[in-house]
Amino acid sequence: MTDLEDILARSWAHVEGCRVVAVAGMDGLLIERHPAKDDDPLLAGAPEPETLAHIVAEVTTLFGVASGAMSRELGSPVSELVALGETGGYLARRINPDLFCLFVTGPSADLTNVRSEAEELARELSGALV
Amino acid sequence: MESTEDVATEALVRAAREVRGVVAAALIDRAGAVVAAESDDQALLEQMQLTATSALAAAEAFSDLTPDGAPPNLTAIYDDGQPLLFAPVSGGDMTLVLAVASAADIGRARFQLKRITGG
């Protein structure tokens, strides 16, 4: 297991209701996820691998969209995106200009906890992925 | 006795091969000769060798479009066959070619390739 997988596994375990946690590039490609194996029982309820790839690409687009007027008005780049539905949601946080992490959660996840863990994960990955 | 350069190139190829999802790695020079390789699949290695020279030419052509004029990394995705990643190394004198198991492995391989080559 690489450092990256270790870090994602630890973060996943800290978020109750987390279906999958991933790190991806701003080129729209998924880099790593946890759980990593397609047949891992822990992946039950998580998006299919192809679907997760599409979600990552969409999040990349959303960060691109949010880098315009929304960021200018804030005076700083949008660093976090949250999308919620009745059956769960997504939280993405920028790690650096090239990378972001993504949490896919079920309905039972506590958003405050997810945000806190995403901040911690982004900080840890920004140090580990220099 | 192996030179320091030989050891470095072999270490580079071995590090690339160890990335999860990478099924073959090869370092190929401008003439298309394999400098170092790690793969259990000889046919795949030959395909990588055959396409590397074309990829190098394409990378040189695309380098006019990059801000710093450096040859870019290229990825080839086939309808039938393993995706291939091409990364110029040693200032473009050689190309590191990776074959990955599926398109789902491209992001990881690209990311790790940048770390391995310092690109």
> Is A90's pLDDT higher than 80?
yes
Query: Which residue stretches of chain B have pLDDT < 50?
Result: none
Taking CB atoms and an 8 Å limit, are B107 and A2 in contact across chains? Answer: no
Cis peptide upstream of residue A35 (ω within 30 degrees of 0): yes
For position B13, what pLDDT does the model report?
94
Please compute, for residue B109, the number of CA atoms within 13 A of its CA located in the half-sphere on the CB side: 31
> Is A86's pLDDT higher than 70?
yes
For position B2, what pLDDT does the model report?
61
Please compute, for residue B15, the number of CA atoms within 13 A of its CA located in the half-sphere on the CB side: 14
> Is A64's pLDDT higher than 90?
yes
ipTM value > 0.90: no
Spell out which residues of chain A touch residue B116, defining contact as CB-CB under 8 Å: none
Taking CB atoms and an 8 Å limit, are A49 and B104 in contact across chains? Answer: yes
Residues on B contacting A at a C-beta cutoff of 8 Å: 20, 104, 106-108, 110-111, 115
Q: Enumerate the H helices of chain B as residue ranges.
A: 4-17, 42-62, 106-117
Distance CA A54, CA A51 (A): 5
Taking CB atoms and an 8 Å limit, are B20 and A2 in contact across chains? Answer: yes
B44 SS3 class: helix
